Structure 1
Amino acid sequence: MTWLADTRTSYDTVAESYAEFVADALDKHPHMRAALTLFASQVDGPAVDVGCGPGHFTAYLHSLGADAAGIDLSPAMIDLARRSHPGPRFEVGSMTDLPLPDASMAGVLAFWSLIHVPDDDVPVALGHFRRVLRPGGLLVIGYHVGAGTRLKTEGYGGHPMRVHIHLRQPWWLAKRVRAAGFTVEAEWALDPENKVSQAILFARASA
């Protein structure tokens, strides 16, 4: 898949700059931090941060006592995560071919990583999330709210990138989450006054 190769190369290129950019994300966004804290408190067993980037969210979950591991498409991001956060486990992998056994996870976190997956491949990723989750397992997705897709050609630190960012309406994502075998429990709107707002969806794997 071309988009997979483009995304991997882009984040390999910007790994160091991106890590600096998001280093204080949880200090700037208390509602995001609260969502992670809720996730950690609700997950009884192993959890995976899919699209973990430099591992800052994974490390936060780990600091709360969660048995959290991280998976990311970019080898450079995983190398950085391992160096920066020696506690959690980090592995290279794709959410469209998630390298985890069936029903092995109690929680799946996808914070602003599904945004790079084309609409047609979203059900594939959600299917893998459901496959690796135990019945009753928690899925939390953070995403950009809106319509359409934009191509990002320059990224963090001015480095060249080629990644598509897909904006989605809450109803659109919720419909596909339900179709993948989940029950949607809650949806939080973040920065609803902004031109491009964000949201967090909470769902449980059906029995």
Structure 2
Amino acid sequence: MTDPNADLTADFIEATRSSYDAIAPAYSAEHPDGLGEGPVETGLLTAFAELVRTATAGEAQVADIGSGPGYVTARLNALGLRAFGIDISPHMVALAREAHPQLRFQVGSMTSLDVPDGTLDGLIALYSTIHIPDADLPGVLAEFHRVLRPGGYVLLGFQAAEDEHLHLSERYGQDISLDYYFRTPARVASFLTRAGLPLYAEVLRKPQDEEKRPRAFILAYKPPAAD
């Protein structure tokens, strides 16, 4: 049977890919390290890395989903993890490889990850699931669950709002078609729980400087296999 949502899924994936391809140089120039020295973000990455290392017998492998210019991937490696980046935009991937030639980046969609089952010790997605419509988010989180080994962790970061949909047709002077879906932490937590990824911790940071919305971070995990 043909999936009636397949064409809609393909449409938003292609729109997101072409939009980030168009703005990649300007975006990367403005955000060479989008985390800056924010103590909340830095602390959460450190906590994530420590949890993953503690739960892993050997060298921990993690994926940065929606890696963009690659600065989060680089930070994860600096924290002692074997991290690689996945991004839907070939132009973003090319710029990340140029900025961090020692690291691995690959083109891919979080709706269908080219990663074997149960091979990741951790997974991080900062401000990338915001482009996923509600109808497709369960499938994305099912992919996250699939690629994580039992006991692995996932860290999501997103702008928090009461179920707000924003469409942009221009950014950095480029014509784009980019959709943003802002959700409450409780709503994202419910999606994660239904995907078999119960919560470990949740943080909500108030808007800083020119930010318009709070920043939410949810740390979840794939339960260890039963003995």
Q: Normalising to structure 1: TM-score of the pair?
A: 0.95
* CA gap 1:169/1:95 in 2 versus in 1, 3 angstroms: same
Which of 35, 43, 54 pairs up with 2:52? 43
Task: Please give the per-residue CA displacement for 1:119-147, whole angstroms capped at 9, x wherever unaligned.
Answer: 01000000000000011100000011112
Is contact 2:168–2:176 with CA below 8 Å preserved after alignment?
Answer: yes
Q: Does 1:182 align with 2:191?
A: no
Q: In the TM superposition, what are the counterparts of 1:62-101 in structure 2 within 5 Å? A: 62-101=77-116
Is contact 1:43–1:106 with CA below 8 Å preserved after alignment?
Answer: yes
Q: Higher Cα Rg: structure 1 or 2?
A: 2
Q: Does 1:151 align with 2:167?
A: yes
Within 2, Cα distance between the matches of 1:206 and 1:143? 23
Q: Does 1:203 align with 2:212?
A: no
Which of 5, 8, 19 pairs up with 1:10? 19
Q: Does 1:136 align with 2:145?
A: no
Percent identity over the alignment is 38
Within 2, Cα distance between the matches of 1:25 and 1:97? 26
Within 2, Cα distance between the matches of 1:179 and 1:124? 11
Counterpart of 1:3, as a letter, is F
Is contact 1:143–1:199 with CA below 8 Å preserved after alignment?
Answer: yes
Counterpart of 2:32, as a letter, is A
C-alpha displacement at 1:30, in angstroms?
2.5
Q: Normalising to structure 2: TM-score of the pair?
A: 0.87
Is contact 1:59–1:87 with CA below 8 Å preserved after alignment?
Answer: no
Which runs of 5 or more structure 1 residues have no equivalent in the other structure?
Answer: none
Q: Does 1:52 align with 2:62?
A: no
SS of equivalent residue, structure 1 residue 119: coil
Which of 107, 114, 126 pairs up with 2:122? 107
Within 2, Cα distance between the matches of 1:33 and 1:154? 31
Within 2, Cα distance between the matches of 1:171 and 1:192? 18
Is contact 1:130–1:205 with CA below 8 Å preserved after alignment?
Answer: yes
Higher helix share: 1
Give me the CA root mean square deviation: 1.4
Which runs of 5 or more structure 2 residues have no equivalent in the other structure?
Answer: 1-9, 54-59
Counterpart of 2:44, as a letter, is A
Within 1, Cα distance between the matches of 2:156 and 2:33? 20
Within 1, Cα distance between the matches of 2:184 and 2:41? 19
C-alpha displacement at 1:67, in angstroms?
0.4
**Count of residues paired in the alignment:** 206
Task: Please give the per-residue CA displacement for 1:141-185, whole angstroms capped at 9, x wherever unaligned.
Answer: 001111220001222x32222110101011111011011111101
SS of equivalent residue, structure 1 residue 182: coil
